[in-house]
Amino acid sequence: MSSVSINRVVISGNLTRDGEIRATAGGTTVLTFGVAVNDRRRNASGEWEDVPNFVDCVMFGTRADALARFLTKGTKVALEGKLRYSSWERDGQRRSKLEVIVDDLEFMSSRQGQGSSQSQAPRAQQAPSFSAPAAYGQTSQRPTQQTPPSADVYDEDIPF
């Protein structure tokens, strides 16, 4: 009997920093950004409170180039991707990181908070939109998915 493993992540939240774009030694464009998503928990006094979770995200290739200038701190986005775990050693200490490799991204609102609905989000004339695949009820054609470089190439580029 074989077991099935699914590695898919869907989140929506606000960007915690502007997107940072760079290129690997091989010329692949890499766009990194952070997204804050809230979790509701009861605190010690029993009251509900929002607790932020900070998620590191990365996008590769031509889509990274196209979106880099639109991913600014505070922008609300929805994204879909997969988790990737990386580990390395620096200064004799073992370090690790869990991040989302973004396949699809959609703008939910502008950075200035002009609204929270998709109809008020940056549209195609302002920013490219990479919508969820048809499996999620949308009929738009999914952009060509690019495979990220192998983990060993990427890990060498991690600056910390």
Count of alpha carbons within 13 angstroms of residue 85, beta-carbon side: 3
Question: Two tokens at 134?
Answer: 């048809």
Q: Which CATH architecture has domain 9-41+48-137?
A: Beta Barrel (2.40)
- Strand pairing report for 29-42 and 93-109: unpaired
The per-residue pLDDT for range 14-23, each reduced to its tens digit, is 999 999 999 9
Does residue 135 have a pLDDT over 70?
no
Global pTM value: 0.66
The per-residue pLDDT for range 40-99, each reduced to its tens digit, is 999 999 999 999 999 999 999 999 988 998 999 999 999 999 999 999 999 999 999 999
Q: Which residues contact 119 (CB under 8 A, 6 or more apart)?
A: none
pLDDT band of 134, cuts 50, 70, 90: very low
The per-residue pLDDT for range 106-133, each reduced to its tens digit, is 999 754 544 444 333 344 334 445 443 4
Domain extents in the chain: 9-41+48-137
